[in-house]
Copies of this chain bind each other. A is one copy, B any other.
Amino acid sequence: MLNSRPLPFDAIAEARRQWEAHGWPSSPAMTAVTSIMRAQQIVLARVDAVLKPLDLTFARYEALVLLYFSRTGALPMGKMGDRLMLHPTSVTNIIDRLEDQGFVRRVSHPTDRRTTLAEITDAGRQAVEAATEATSAISLGMGNLTDEELDQITELLRRLRLDAGDFPDDPDDTHDTHDGPGG
């Protein structure tokens, strides 16, 4: 299970108490960071658990969804890394596995011979649909939080991602002129 031996108290709140008792700085940041780490661990474990019967992990599912949504069902691996915020070697790793499973096919780029396209197969599309059903059934592991609370989390973390340079800060950009999301 996720929590074989639960504690009788909140370890993160207790860490904050200790932190402040020692006069250490940045305790709100420390507490937020450990909360994010733990939340990621909880959610990932829950999602991976329901995906396990389908022979998928969250990482591979995300890659597969990206291809599923793309216009032609195929994307350059480098572009996938950009969209998924993954290192090129991680994409290679994931596509290796998905290809072994028959969910994806490597195709050479028609004009740029450096580039390899990853193309989703019919089996891959079926897997995405089954996986989406499975993960949605558990609200992707987010438990009983309301849609409002979920959107608050998204908005707060959006500021962190903005600060990290994940996307430009142009408030009223309609994306009309971008090369763009449609891949």
Contact = CB atoms under 8 A, between A and B. Distances in A.
A8 B179 contact: yes
Contact of A165 (B3, B28, B147): B3
Interface string A136-154: 1001111111010111111
Stoichiometry (number of copies): 2
A1 to B, nearest CB: 9
A165 B181 CA distance: 38
Interface stretch (A29-37, A49-57, A101-109, A117-125): A29-37
A152 B31 CA distance: 11
Contacts of A180: 8-9
A27 to B, nearest CB: 9
A interface, over-half SS? helix
Interface residues of A, number: 80
A113 interface: no
12 contacts: A3-B85, A5-B82, A10-B161, A10-B167, A11-B181, A15-B65, A33-B142, A35-B154, A36-B36, A36-B153, A38-B161, A39-B40
A94 interface: no
Nearest to A70: B18
